[in-house]
Structure 1
Amino acid sequence: MSVTDTEAAGTAPGPAVDTAPAQTVLTPRLRLVLVLLLATQFMLAVDFAILNVALPVIGNGLGFSLAHLQWIGTSFALCAAGFTLLFGRVADLFGRRRVFLGGLVVLGAASLMGGLAQNPEMLITARVLQGLATAAVTPAALSLMTTSFPEGPLRQKALGLNGALMSSGFTTGAILGGVLTDLLSWRWAFFINVPVALAVLIIAPRIIKESRLDERPKLDLPGAVSVTLGLLAIIFGLTQAGEKGWGSAGALLSLAAGVVLLVIFYVVERKVSAPLVPLSVLGKRSVAWGNVAGLIAFATFTSLVFPLTLYLQEVLGYSALVAGLSFGFLGLGTVTGGVTASKVIGKIGTKRTLIVGGVLQTVFTAALVGLGDDRSWMWLMLVASFLGGVGNMLAIVGFMVTATSGLANHEQGLATGLATMTQQVGITMGTPIMSAVVTAAMAGTGASAILGGLKVAIAVNAAIVLLGLLASAVFLRSDRSTVQSQ
């Protein structure tokens, strides 16, 4: 199948074969493309966490009941994770820039609606639209990045910076949400998106060229419906498990329905002529096991924020502001890992970088089990979160490079859609799992019981990272076979 992938650097349209693999220097135009795409991804990452601190204030201001308050976050996460794969493929078929810009329009409008919301229904509608916009913009932006930069140092650098900014965006969102809520209003957590979206919408059409398939196969509607509903059911089941326990009827029924729908999706993909996810792509080790590694990386380290928040506030007695600022060390670690990842990959290869990152994350997550019940232990939390953040980001960048390498340009939207779905699902499922483990492990009430429960959750977290590390070491192929498999 012929492909027209006009590079953002302004090169002429051509086939899907990379014609400049040796390019190692960013041109001014490519640099501007990278800045725009990174700014967008950072904004989307901030959106995941910016409302967490403000939830009680929003609830009081708009009249949310305590039971319904969690839907401010859940409605966003369901759409952001559930529709990502679908929009990634739509971007492949109908134009990545078109989907990217269209999603930004929806995001800006939804953010304005959320900031102006006068009742719970209006706010939840805005969050649903924000989630759908995130599901469209994130894979489109990532596929524009992978098709704009050839495999090799430039793509590794771009993905490293992307991973660093996205991960630091989660930390920045938690801090920024508290600052905006205290100094201005929770509404500014929404309004802040509007000027950023407008700026990107004005500049992007001038420098980013359209990238899509010449021939548009029929969209696999049965596959799209089954996989989207399946992901929605699983993510909803995980959030229910975190709130009501793993034995609750709502969680079990939703998880079971999700599994059945994903099995139906697999059967559909085997039979249709133009599948949403070609099984030949899923059959590549780099795609399949790379996404397994990414799922674990995103689900584990981001979810540590939950038990560590409990530790800082409920055990050590720090304020919410101090707790939020403490996570700045974790953010610094992820930025350090992201900035250095491309250099590490260049020296030891993608697979080894992923494994080294997993080792660092495992060791320093396990070190957190040694936290004590007085403030003298803060040094351990800060050091371990920083170094664990470095390792986590090395693993994430290794996953991104692995899961998007060795594929033709016309498959990049699919590959980045899968990678983005992995990211969104991992972020969504991690915290409910940690919450359920902490609750189940707590014996009694009080600071000592909370400390015991969160230590069990941290140990489980480290064990999951170790299992992912071992799977990557056994099943992932070396870099050369991955990159040359195209």
Structure 2
Amino acid sequence: MSTTNAPRPAATHPTAAAPPSAPGPEQPRLTGRLKLVLAVLLVAQFMLAVDFSILNVALPTIGRGLGFSLAGLQWIATAFALSAAGFTLFLGRIGDLAGRKKMFIGSIALLGLSSLVGGLATTPGVLLAARVAQGLATAAATPAGLALLTTAFPEGPLRQKALGVNGALMSAGFTTGAILGGALTDLLSWRWSFFLNVPVALAVVVIAPAVITESRPAHRPRLDLPGALTVTGGLLAFVYGLTQAGEHGWTSAHAVTGLAAGVLLLAGFFLIERQVAQPLVPLRVLGRRNVAWGNVLGLLAFVTETSLVYLLTLYLQETLGFSPLAAGATFGVLGAGTVAGGLLAPRVIARTSLLTALVGGGLLQAAGTAALLFLGTTTGASLALLLPATFIGGIGNMLVIVGFMVTATSGLPDAEQGLATGLASMSQQVGITMGTPIMSAVVTATTAGATTPAAIHHGVTTAIAVNASLVLLGATAAAAFLRPRSRRPAAGQNRWPGERPAR
């Protein structure tokens, strides 16, 4: 573990300045090379986040252009989500074996190629194949990029700042995707939602080999194939069940079958991990409070904020009558809040603790979300409430996301960073994927098939109440399970990451 977080030795006389000949350990600085590494990784991660939402508002236009049936239209989003969420942990371990730099550059190249194919597609089959390839590229690039970031920046303030900016851009990328998707569809063509990736991916592939250092564990573990197959199959089945629940309701045969199969396969995965010599996910790592509960909080953070974008899109277009472009532009305030929260989070963590960021951020997000329960059906009054509420909620959400990233990847050696970032990436991908189907199912159950503006408004506010409750659940879990057990750890025992030293 890095020693950059170690407290400075106490001076004999508290009021005396430390002598020049005996300064405390210097904090690492952000060198020019590290800035370039950070820029390359952040650009790639931002692009990956944009891809999650850039096609959402363009789906009806794509359907008309390529001849998708109404039932088949959802697969443009589902094909990407299934592969992105289902293969993250598996491909994260492949990156540990093959080299994270190789995996990162190769997956970004695949993203650029598949985006080009998607932009040129003339049939539904080609477009869906491109979306699957984009999802696989995202599943490989996200954990590899995070592992490269956490191994390039030593644990402590420098890593916290890097993860803060990374989290801000990831969350802002999701919001930016909605804005860009509406603008490109209205002003140019939906195909530019794909083409936009090509030059960015090309630039990353050209620059990354020269600035990023290869990273892999010192001892290459064997691939736990039974564990990889069961966790991938379980995630695919579970995410499929959720998407079907959002589309057809929780009692539909496809939803029930998918969810049941997912639960059984994931249960089998944990049984396998207890038996194999070199498990894909060592249970001792999941036994760490910061890893286990950090990922739970991250999952809830992504479930709630990304699904809120869906709910507000539905409200703005179906209740207030906004165009896709106007609805997307409205989320610019939310994006500004997430950027502000990402930049603020490292300072909050440094001056207080990770627990303060997680609990305080959750309460702030819950307050912003709960305020949206008072949205009405008139444009002026609704925007006067929606804009500041989403800005505040965005700040709170980013405090939680950065806190989750730091918590779930701290206190681990470089050899386990691939696993830790793979778990964090999986929580992120699954959370983004789960949120919309869950909230869609709530809206569907509340409206009972009615599509009037008043019915949509009622369904959306009900789902917002569920959303705010989940945020509060996360803040409560953080306060209950991540509170430091002791102010004074035993000799040789590390403090939980973010805990301030006892005075």
TM-score (norm 2): 0.91
CA deviation profile, 1:260-313 (whole Å, cap 9, x unmatched): 001110011001011000000000000000001111110011101122122212
Name 1:435's counterpart in structure 2: 440
Deviation at 1:374, TM superposition (A): 1.0
Cα deviation 1:290-344 (Å, max 9, x = unaligned)? 0011111100111011221222122222222111111111111100000111111
| Partner residue in 1 for 2:466 | 460
Partners of 1:377 and 1:120 in 2: CA distance: 38
Match of 2:232 among 223, 228, 231: 228
C-alpha contact (below 8 Å) 1:163/1:396 kept by paired residues: yes
Supply the AA of the counterpart residue of 2:39.
V
- SS of the aligned residue for 1:460 comes to helix
Instruction: Please name the residue that 2:2 is paired with.
Output: 18
The number of residue pairs the alignment matches comes to 469
C-alpha distance in 1, partners of 2:48/2:94? 19
Counterpart in the other structure of 1:191:
195
Give the Cα separation in 1 of the matches to 2:366 and 2:135.
31
CA contact (8 A) 2:186 2:325 kept: no
Question: C-alpha separation between the residues in 2 aligned to 1:30 and 1:445?
Answer: 52
1:69-80 equivalence runs, <5 A: 69-80=73-84
Match of 2:480 among 468, 474, 484: 474
Contact conserved, 1:88 with 1:417, CA < 8 A, in 2?
Answer: yes
SS of residue paired to 1:68 = coil
The whole-number CA distance in structure 1 between the counterparts of 2:270 and 2:414 is 24
Deviates more, 1:268-277 or 1:471-480: 471-480
Deviation at 1:60, TM superposition (A): 1.3
For the 8 Å contact 2:50–2:176, the answer to whether it is kept is yes
1:465 aligned partner, one-letter code: V
Q: Is the 8 A contact 1:438 1:453 kept in 2?
A: yes
Alpha-carbon RMSD: 1.5
Identify unmatched segments of 5+ residues in structure 1: 1-16
Q: Which residue of 2 aligns with 1:212?
A: 216
Q: Secondary structure at the match of 2:216?
A: strand
TM superposition outliers: structure 1 runs of 4+ over 4 Å: 19-22
Match of 1:390 among 395, 418, 421: 395
- Does the 8 Å CA contact 2:240/2:258 hold for their aligned counterparts? yes
Q: Is the 8 A contact 2:168 2:341 kept in 1?
A: yes
Are the equivalent residues in 1 in contact too, given 2:361–2:399 (CA < 8 A)? yes
Q: Which amino acid aligns with 2:427?
A: T
How many Å apart are 1:217 and its aligned residue? 2.2
Q: What is the CA deviation profile of residues 19-59 of structure 1, one whole-angstrom value per residue up to 9, with x for unaligned ones?
A: 66653420000000000000000000011111111111111
- Give the residue type in structure 2 aligned to 1:37: L
**2:2–2:156 Cα contact (<8 Å) kept:** no
Matched, 1:425 2:430: yes
Q: How does 1:30-429 map to 2 (within 5 A)?
A: 30-375=34-379, 376-429=381-434
CA distance in 1, matches of 2:386, 2:30: 38
* Contact map agreement 1:269 1:277 (CA 8 A) in 2: yes
Secondary structure of 1:439's aligned partner: helix
1:450 to 447, 450, 456: 456
Aligned to 2:490: none
Q: Shift of the alpha carbon at 1:191?
A: 1.2
Identity %: 65
1 CA distance for matches of 2:221 and 2:446? 51
Q: CA deviation at 1:99?
A: 0.7
Describe the SS at the equivalent of 1:219: coil
Q: Distance in 1 between matches of 2:128 and 2:63?
A: 12
- Equivalent AA in structure 2 for residue 226 of structure 1: T
After superposition, the C-alpha distances for 1:179-236 in whole angstroms (9 at most, x for unaligned) are 2222222111111111111111111111111111232221000000000000000000
Superposed displacement of residue 109, structure 1: 1.1
Q: Output the amino acid matched with 2:413.
A: A
Amino acid at match of 1:292: V
The question of whether the paired residues in 1 share the 8 Å contact of 2:45 and 2:170 is answered with yes
Contact 1:96–1:140 (CA under 8 A) maintained in structure 2: yes
Q: Which amino acid aligns with 1:346?
A: A
Cα deviation, residue 98, structure 1: 1.0
**If you compute each CA radius of gyration, which structure gives the higher value, 1 or 2?**
2
The one-letter code sitting in structure 2 at the alignment partner of 1:426 is G
Distance across 2 between alignment mates of 1:447 and 1:252 = 30
Q: Which moved more, 1:445-454 or 1:257-266?
A: 445-454
Distance (Å, rounded) in 1 between the aligned partners of 2:357 and 2:4: 25
Tell whether the 8 Å contact from 1:94 to 1:213 is kept in structure 2 after alignment: no
One-letter amino acid of the structure 2 residue matched with residue 72 of structure 1:
I
* Correspondence for 1:13: none
Q: TM-score, normalised by structure 1?
A: 0.94
C-alpha contact (below 8 Å) 1:291/1:399 kept by paired residues:
yes
Contact 1:92 1:411 (C-alpha < 8 Å) held by counterparts: no
Contact 1:286 1:477 in 2 (8 A): no
1:437, 1:457 within 8 Å by CA — same for their partners in 2?
yes
- Contact 2:4-2:156 within 8 A present in 1 as well: no
